[in-house]
Chains A and B, each alone.
Chain A
Amino acid sequence: MSTPTTDRRAPAVGAGPSAPTDGARRPPATHAWRGRRERLTAGAFMAPSVVLVALFLLAPFVWTVHRSFFSDTRTTPFSWFDNYALFASDPALSRSVQNTLMWVVGTVVLPFVLGLAIACMTDAGRFSRLARLCVVLPYALSGSAVAVVWNFMLTADGAVNQVLTGLNLDSLAHGWLLTWPGNTVVMILANAWQATGVAVILFLVGLQSIPPETLEAGALDGAGSWQRFRHIVLPQLRPVSIIVIGMSLVNGLKSFDLIWVLTQGGPGRATETLAVSMYNETFLELRPGAGAAIAVVLTVIVLAASWLYLRRQLDVKGV
C-alpha cells in the first residue's frame, strides 16, 4: 500500500508548485490531499488493531514490568530488583527454572523426533490413515482433559501401577507424580503424547510437498533409504522443522495447564515451571510483585528464545 503512494507522490514533490504540468498530471494540492487521505485511511484501518494490542497486550505488560519493581508489603514501596533477586535466593524458583528448561528440551525434542518418525512411517503405509488418526487424536483434546486422563494413570494407586503389579513388577510401581525429577519427566511424556499430533500433521504436509522426482533421482544414483532421507527428505523439510521447533519451544516455555491439573506444581513446589510459579506467587502466595518479576523474566526468555531461533533459521534460509 505504501509503495504506490510514494510513487505517486514523488513526481509532485519534484515538480514543485510552479512547475508546468501536463494534462494528465493532477495539481499538487490534490496530490497532497490525496496522500493525506490515504494515510488517514490506512491509519483508520490499523487503529483498531493498534489500540487493541496497546490496550490488552502492551499496557498490561508495561504495568507488569512496573509492578515487578515494588515489594509485596501492604504499602508496596519501590524495591529495585528485590523481586528479581528471588531467582537467586528462593530454592522453589531455582527448581522452577530447572523444570522449565527440562520442559523446553522435552517439548522440543520429543514432538520433533516422534512427529518426524511417525509422519515418515505413516506417509505411505497400509494402515497409515488409522495410525495417523490415533496419533493426531490426542491433539484434539484440551490440556486439562489430557491431565485428568493421565492423573487416573499416574497416581500411586492408578492404572500404571496396577498394571505393573498385575505383571509382578511391583518393584517398578511407585508414586510417579511424587518424586522429582521423575514427576516432571512423566508430565513431559504426557505432554508429548498430546503435542506430537500437530507435529505429525505438519511433517506430513512437508513430506507431501517433496517432489517425488528428487527421491527417484536419488534412488537412481544408488542412494539407500537412509541416505535419501538424510540428504533429500530432511533438507526439504527444513521450513516445516522450523515451524515445529518454534512452536514447541514456545509451548514448552509456557506449559501450565497439564501441570496445574496434575500436580498444581506440587508436591511442595517440585513440579512448578515459571508459568506455574508466576500463578502461584501472584494468586496463592499473594505476592503480585514476585509474580510480576517471574512474568517479566518468562516473557524475556520466550522473546529471546524465539527471536534467536527464528533469526538464525531465517538467516540460513536467506529470507
Chain B
Amino acid sequence: MSASGRTSRAAAPLARRRFLAGVASGAAALAAGGCARGDSTSAQPGTTSLSNDNATWDEGYRSAGRELKKITGYALRPLSNPSVTSYQQVVQMTMQTSKAADLVKWASGYQLKRLARAGGLTDLTDVWERYEAKGWVRGASRETVSYRGKAYGVPIYESYYVLFYSKPVFKRLGLSAPADWAQLLHCAEVLKRNKITPFLASQVGGWPAIEWFQELVTKVDPHFYQKLTTGAASYTDAPARRAMDIWHDFMRKGWMTSPDFDQARGPGALKEGTLGMFLHGTWQASGMAAAGMEPDVDYGAFILPTVRPSTQKSVIAESGVFVVPSHASSHEAAMANAGAWLTPSVQRKWSDFLQDSSANPTVRSSNPVVARLQQDIAREHRLPLIRYWEAGPPSLIQGNTNDLGGFMAGQTSPATTLRRMQERAHDEWAAWRRDEA
C-alpha cells in the first residue's frame, strides 16, 4: 500500500467524521429548534394573539382588531387551528405553559365551567359588570359564562338556531315561512311531493346530531329542556319521548336528508333547490353569502314553531366566548381587548363580517334576515335557552351526541336511545356533582 493510499485512507474517515459531525449537529440544532417553544403566541407589540378554531373568521377578527386598536392600542392577531378536536387539546395544553395565547375562543356553558374548574383562567367579573352597566351585554347570558359566581368569558357573538329556507323554492311552490306547527308540516309535505328534501339533518362531524333533538324538545316544552339540562328531569319523560317520536316520524316520511349529508353542502343544496329547510345557527349566514345567496332574496329564516300553540316560545342561543388565560403572554393587552370587545364600533365591524347577531344587544345585525330574527325574539319574548352542546358535563353531552347519531342512522329506536341517554345522564351528573363537592 502506498503512502498516498494511506494518506487518502486516513483522510477519508476524517472527512466522514466531519461530515457526520456536521449532520449530527445540524440535526441536533433542528431538533432543538423543534423542541423549543414556538414564538407564535409570544408578545408582539401592538397586538394580542387570539386562538381560534375557525380559520374563515380570521379576516373578521383582523377587521374588528383594527377598531380595537383605535381604542386599546392593540390589534388582534388570530392563530387558527381549524380542527375542533385538536384545537381543544392544544388550547388546554398551552394554558399550562407560560406562552398561552392572549385571548382564547372557547365554548360557553359547561365547556367553559370545566376549563375554569381546571384553573388558569382570569376572572372577568369586573369586565362583565362594566359591560352590563352600559347595557352592552345580555344579562341572561351571564350564567353561561360563569363558574362558582365568577364570570370567565366575554361573549364573542350570539347566534340563534333557526331554519334557513330557500325563498325562490318556497315562492315557486306557493309556500311562506310557517307561523305554526301545522303550517310547518304543510310546507314539508308540499316540498316532499315536489321531490325536494324538506329538512337537512346530519350527524357528520358528530355534534350536528344534537340540532334536531334540542330544537324539538324545546318546541315541545322549553321548561322541560331547562330541567333536562340541569339534570332535574329524565330523558325518558314524556316531552323527550314526544320530541323523539316527531323526529322519528319525520325520518320515516323521508323528510330528512340522509344522516351522512355534510352540512357544509347545506347552502349549496338550498341554492340548487334540492333542499327546502336547513336547521342551523345564524352564523351560517356567512356561509350563505359565500355560496352567493342574498339575504331576503335567496334565503330567509324562521324559528321552528312550537308543537302546540299554547307552549311558550323559545329560542336556542349559542354564544362562543373569549377567555383570558392567567399566563397570557400579553396579559394586560388581552384584558384591555377583552374589556373593549363589545364596544359598538368594534361589534359593528364584527357583526358585518359575520352577518350574524352581535353579543351586544345595541348592535343591530346588518343582515336583514338576522335583524328580523332579533326583532322577533325581542317582540315575542322568546325564552333564551342554552345550546345542548354546552348544556351539561362534556362527557355526558359527547356520549349522548353519539347516541343521537346512532338514532339518526337507524341503529336504535327512540325509546332505546332515550334510555341510554338517561343512563349516561344519571352517571355523569353524579360524577360532576361529586367533583364539585
Contacts and interface: CB of A to CB of B under 8 A. Distances in A.
A180 B411 contact: yes
Contact of A178 (B206, B260, B395): B260
B402 A74 contact: no
A75 interface: yes
A269 B405 CA distance: 8
Interface in A65-80: 72-75
Contact of B259 (A178, A264, A269): A178
B85 interface: yes
B416 to A, nearest CB: 11
Contacts, number: 75
Interface in A262-308: 264, 266-270, 283-287
Interface in A52-103: 72-75, 92
B41 to A, nearest CB: 22
Contact of A179 (B203, B262, B410, B431): B410
B258 interface: yes
B258 A266 contact: no
Nearest to B430: A73
B398 A285 contact: yes
Interface in B375-433: 394-395, 398-399, 402-403, 405-412, 431
Contact of A266 (B203, B261, B434): B203
Interface string A161-204: 00000000000000101111000000000000000000000000
A75 B432 CA distance: 11
A267 B435 contact: no
B235 to A, nearest CB: 16
Contacts of B395: 72, 285-287
B403 A268 contact: yes
Given A180-B411, A266-B203, A155 B261 contact: yes
Nearest to A263: B260
Contacts of B258: 155-157, 175, 178
Nearest to B396: A285
The majority secondary structure among interface residues of chain A is: loop
Contact of B117 (A72, A74, A157): A74
A180 to B, nearest CB: 7
Nearest to B117: A74
A157 B394 contact: no
A276 to B, nearest CB: 12
A317 to B, nearest CB: 37
B205 interface: yes
Interface size class of A (residues with CB under 8 A): 20 to 34
Interface string B259-293: 11110000000000000000000000000000000
A182 B184 CA distance: 35
Interface in B18-75: none
Nearest to B399: A285
Given A155-B260, A177-B260, A268 B406 contact: yes
Interface string A254-265: 000000000010
Given A74-B435, A75-B435, A175-B409, A267 B85 contact: no
B4 interface: no
Interface string A194-229: 000000000000000000000000000000000000
A287 B394 CA distance: 10
A36 to B, nearest CB: 24
Given A75-B435, A156-B260, A283-B85, A267 B398 contact: no
A177 B408 CA distance: 12
B406 A267 contact: yes
Contact of B89 (A177, A178, A179, A283): A283
Contacts of B260: 155-156, 175, 177-178, 267
A285 B393 CA distance: 10
Given A75-B435, A175-B259, A175-B260, A267 B408 contact: yes
Given A178-B259, A269-B402, A284-B85, A73 B435 contact: yes
B410 to A, nearest CB: 7
Nearest to B435: A74
A156 B251 CA distance: 15
B205 A270 contact: no
A286 B409 contact: no
Given A175-B258, A178-B260, A268 B402 contact: yes
Contact of A270 (B261, B411, B431): B411
Contact of B409 (A73, A92, A157, A178): A178
Contact of A284 (B262, B398, B408, B412): B398
B398 A157 contact: no
B409 A267 contact: yes
A157 B204 CA distance: 14
Contacts of B88: 283
A75 B405 CA distance: 31
B51 to A, nearest CB: 17
A208 B259 CA distance: 49
A267 B260 CA distance: 9
Given A75-B435, A155-B258, A266 B402 contact: yes
Interface in A232-270: 264, 266-270
Contacts of A284: 85, 206, 398
B434 A267 contact: no
Contacts of A266: 203, 206, 402, 405-406, 409
Given A73-B434, A268-B403, A179 B409 contact: yes
A199 B79 CA distance: 43
A209 B243 CA distance: 67
Nearest to A282: B89
Nearest to A264: B206
A266 B411 CA distance: 11
B409 A268 contact: yes
Contacts of B405: 266-268
Given A74-B117, A175-B409, A286-B398, 14 more contacts: A72-B395, A73-B434, A156-B260, A156-B261, A266-B405, A267-B408, A267-B409, A268-B406, A269-B402, A270-B406, A270-B411, A283-B85, A284-B206, A285-B398
Interface of B: 85, 88-89, 114, 117, 203, 205-206, 258-262, 394-395, 398-399, 402-403, 405-412, 431, 434-435
Interface of A: 72-75, 92, 155-157, 175, 177-180, 264, 266-270, 283-287
3 tightest A-B CB contacts, nearest first: A268-B406, A156-B258, A267-B409
11 contacts: A156-B258, A177-B260, A178-B259, A178-B409, A179-B410, A267-B260, A267-B409, A268-B403, A269-B402, A270-B409, A285-B395
